[in-house]
Structure 1
Amino acid sequence: MSSPPVNSAAPLLEVRDLTKRFPVKTGFGRPVRQVHAVEKVSFSIAPGEVVGLVGESGSGKTTVGRTIMRLTEPTEGQILFDGTDIAHKGAREMLAFRRRIQMVFQDPFASLNPRARIGALIAEGMEIHRIGTARERAERLAELLDLVGLPPEAAGRYPHEFSGGQRQRIGIARALAVSPSLIVADEPVSALDVSVQAQVLNLLQDLKERLGLTILFIAHDLAVV
């Protein structure tokens, strides 16, 4: 399911026959069979479009998202991002693309380092990609916190001091920190209370319209999509 594309430009992301098989090995490390997690999946997303990837639990949705991010290596197929196949690029070549593709994870607590302050977690991507000076990063951090509806003092606190919905807002701010073109949102509200789900969905909708984001929205709930 998708919203109407903003324009008829070439796809920002095109997945062709994406396949991921996980080997099952014996105690001696010998592969005896393969688990077919994803088999021949193809779709495309135009710039500014939101596409819902829907399926029941265990159907391989998260594996598709992680493989697009290259957190999981594809077995076969192509992942064309802005016309370039990134399916088998090396770590150094992927660095530039990782700035343009970010992920919001399902579990907002497990995806945040419990020993790091929120400000450091959000700014980490800017430091890795050498975006701006220290002062500019601090200004960007304040802007991001305001963008996702969190107060400035949140930067000095730790993940356990926030509710589930607030932690997911932090995860969204962290994904937006490097100004990506594509967000892969992996079940971003499934771990949240129903009352909080609507708030986070409204936030994503607002950010999509304000920033012109392209989003792959992974979910098992058709009503959420």
Structure 2
Amino acid sequence: MIRAVALDVGETLVRDDRHWGDWADWLSVPRHTLSALIGAVVAQGRDNAEALRLLRPGIDVAAEYAAREAAGRGEHLDESDLYDDVRPALAALRDAGVRVVVAGNQTVRAGELLRELDLPADVVATSGEWGAAKPAPGFFDRVLGAGRAAPYETLYVGDHPANDVAPAAEAGLLTAHLRRGPWGHLWADTPEAGAADYRIDSLHDLVRIVAEHR
């Protein structure tokens, strides 16, 4: 039985368009340039923040983040950033008696903004709040604590095989790879994504998966 479903945030629940578009505007570069660089560095197995360093060698990302916030141009999330299936699918999971956890590699501020959206979830938390980020085992320890279920009763859902599928599986959780966003599509047909217990194209598929485990 699946008692808890935990979901990644970026490109699982929330589109990253605004996030990276705002960074491009802040650095005064074309949005397409930054988007292409992010794709390149991540495909090479590097952190996406490396794209910012390619544009501005020596940049202090944390300092620039603080400067953006001080200038009133910091992080922002609203209903338009959510994928269309997020609210109905999460609500359906809760109606099925499943504990829903939203947990991804985001900042403390992102956690605040996500909770302001009042998603149909039991817990909304970020790596910045937990002090542990994927793919570290400590992150998934926190996921299990939030889900209040055993690893084999917990399904972790995400678009990134290396950050979501592999480390969640190593922690003993069930896994679902979501074919969504750049990374979900880029790695959809790789062995890493294929190693997931489930491969889905929509969050609505989770309702069926949970029902099959009853």
- TM-score calculated relative to the size of structure 1: 0.30
* Structure number with bigger Rg: 1
